A = this chain, B = another copy of it.
Amino acid sequence: VSYSYAKRVQNIKSSAVRDILKVLDRQNMISFAGGLPSDELFPLDAVEAAFEKTFKGGKKSLQYGLTEGFTPLREIIVSLLAARKIETSVERILVTTGSQQAIDLFARTTVDPGDIVLTENPTYLAANQVFSSYEAKIIPVLSDDEGMDPEDLEKKIQEYKPKCIYVVPTFSNPLGRVWSLSRRKSALQIAKKYGVIIFEDDPYGELKFHLDEEYRPIASLDDGKNVLYTSTFSKTVVPALRTGWVTGPSEIIHMMAQFKQAADLHSNSLSQQALYHLLTDFDLNNHIQEIRDEYKKRMLLMDEYLRKANIEGMSYIPPKGGMFLWLKLDPSINTTELLTKAVDQGVAYVPGAPFYVTDPEQNTLRLNFSHSSPEKIKEGIRILSRVFEEALQGAQK
């Protein structure tokens, strides 16, 4: 039987990297590959207590819920956002199955085949997958360590008339980059000037290592009309609850809710109720501080071991937060080719190339420092350094 698919199927491809990384369940593998938070820091007792409390609410708690989400949870999200200086209201909060679904529903609401989406380069792989799956054409905007280049952004808007600009301005995936305030302001100003929506993806913003620094979400600089903002509880509470949210102009949020109704009626409501109880009873800020401290420690360890290894041609900027460290190796090294060798030695990473929209730099890779214990980080970097050294020597022969 030969099946007849939709055209958009051509834009969904299983990556070779994903196939290699499927072996990661193997015992003793040290993985710097995934985007996983640390299991050890999950507030298991608080989650369990929150579910118990939900069940005390009786059988009604097990019934179908609203497409838009559990209202008391949405109220709490409004105050969480107020703390990030984003003004919004319950009606403008849509609860989603992780922030991934927020990106998907936005694309579904906005993107026709052939439409242009502007992004950073490299950028979050699974966002590109979403936009591609709706047959968008993704055009990269030049960026540097401060964020998107305003001149190039304006030029690309004029040239391509994009439907939206997708950005991760705080501890981006994969770069771990933080945009400066002035770049955030410029991007918003230019987007407003041309009436283009900014879709701001902020899963990592809370995971900052320097408490004295403030990273204003672009949405907090907006008047509620030009920015869609998504975030999630996956990195601050636990991923298994699959609960994220999106806020923005009410008209767009309302439209996304209608598509969500078609997509899955509503997200898991038991988890939403439990999250409501957890956020009411539990000191989330204190918990987030623990996560920050631990991730900072792990990042600094990774940084220390990398510096000690002193690999020729290697460079990186120690990230100010988030979960990723972006490594650039000597141009003679192709990290995609090297992956099999590293996995054979017991360490996994993600090569940089798949994150690029165009012009991949083959000598880059992404290291996750949140999921591995300090011991594993030490051992993993030791092994990786040896793999890199051998590759360098091989290249010089």
Write the residues of chain A forming the contact surface with B, with a CB cutoff of 8 angstroms.
Answer: 1-9, 12, 14, 34, 36-37, 39-40, 42, 44, 47-48, 51-52, 55, 58-65, 96-98, 100-101, 104, 108-112, 115, 126, 129-130, 133-134, 163, 195, 197, 225-226, 234, 238-242, 249, 251-252, 255, 258-259, 261-271, 273
Please determine whether B63 and A47 come into contact, CB atoms closer than 8 angstroms: no
Pairwise interchain contact A44-B55, C-beta atoms closer than 8 A: yes
What distance in Å separates the Cβ of A241 from its nearest Cβ neighbour in chain B? 6
Contact: A64 with B240, CB < 8 Å? yes
Residue in B8, B262, B269 whose CB lies within 8 Å of A240: B269
Q: Tell me the number of copies of this protein.
A: 2
Tell which of B39, B61, B259 touches A62, judged by Cβ atoms closer than 8 Å. Answer: B39
A255 surroundings in chain B (CB, below 8 A)? 5, 9, 12
**A59 near B36: Cβ-Cβ < 8 Å:** no
Q: Are A60 and B36 in contact (CB under 8 A)?
A: no
- A48 — nearest CB in chain B belongs to which residue? B55
Nearest chain B CB to A106's CB is how many angstroms away? Answer: 10
Smallest Cβ-Cβ distance to A226: which chain B residue:
B1
Note all chain B residues with C-beta closer than 8 A to A101. 263-264
Return A313 CB to nearest CB of chain B, in Å. Answer: 33
Which residue on B lies nearest to A39, using beta carbons? B59
Return A175 CB to nearest CB of chain B, in Å: 21
Q: Given A104-B262, A126-B265, A270-B271, are A3 and B249 neighbors across the interface (CB < 8 Å)? A: yes
User: Which B residues lie within 8 Å of A268 (CB)?
Assistant: 97, 240-242, 267-268, 271
Of all chain B residues, which has the CB nearest A7?
A: B112
Asked if A264 and B100 sit within 8 Å, CB to CB, the answer is yes
B5 and A109 within 8 A (CB): yes
Could you jot down 5 A-B contacts, CB within 8 Å? A39-B60, A42-B62, A62-B238, A63-B238, A100-B263
For the complex of A and B, 3 pairs with smallest distance between CB atoms: A62-B238, A97-B264, A268-B268
B261 touches A126 (CB 8 A): yes
CB-based contact A44/B64 at 8 Å = no
Please name all residues of chain B whose beta carbon is closer than 8 Å to the beta carbon of A130 when the two chains form the complex: 262-263
Assuming the A-B contacts A44-B58, A51-B51, are A6 and B267 also in contact, with contact meaning beta carbons closer than 8 angstroms in the complex?
no
A261 contact set on B, CB distance < 8 A: 126, 129
Contact residues in B for A109 (Cβ distance below 8 Å): 5-6, 9
Look across to chain B and name the residue whose beta carbon is closest to the beta carbon of A132.
Answer: B262
Question: A97–B62 contact, CB under 8 A?
Answer: no
Given contacts A9-B109, A226-B1, A267-B97, contact A44 B59 (CB under 8 A): yes
- Residues of chain B within 8 A (CB-CB) of A226 are 1
- Residues from chain B with Cβ under 8 Å of A239 in the complex: 62-64, 269
- Residue ID in chain B nearest A107 by CB atoms: B6
The distance from the CB of A267 to the nearest CB of chain B, in whole angstroms, is 7
Check A259 against B12 for contact (C-beta < 8 Å): yes
Other-chain contact of A4, B6, B7, B163 (Cβ < 8 Å): B163
Among the interface residues A3, A48, A234, which one has the most CB atoms of the partner chain B within 10 A? A3
Closest to A115 in B: B6
On whether the beta carbons of A4 and B60 are closer than 8 Å, the reply is no
Question: Given known contacts A4-B163, A100-B264, A101-B264, what 18 new A-B pairs fall within 8 Å (CB)?
Answer: A1-B195, A6-B112, A37-B63, A39-B59, A39-B60, A39-B62, A42-B59, A47-B62, A63-B238, A64-B240, A97-B265, A97-B267, A98-B264, A100-B263, A104-B262, A240-B270, A242-B266, A268-B268
Contact A242 B263 (CB under 8 A): no
Q: How far is the CA of A266 from the CA of B264 in the complex (A)?
A: 12
By a CB distance below 8 angstroms, the chain B residues around A112 are 6-8
A61 to B48, CA, bound (A): 12
In the assembled complex, which residues on chain B have CB atoms less than 8 Å from the CB atom of A163? 4
CA distance A251 to B2 in the complex (A): 10
A163: nearest chain-B partner, CB-CB:
B4
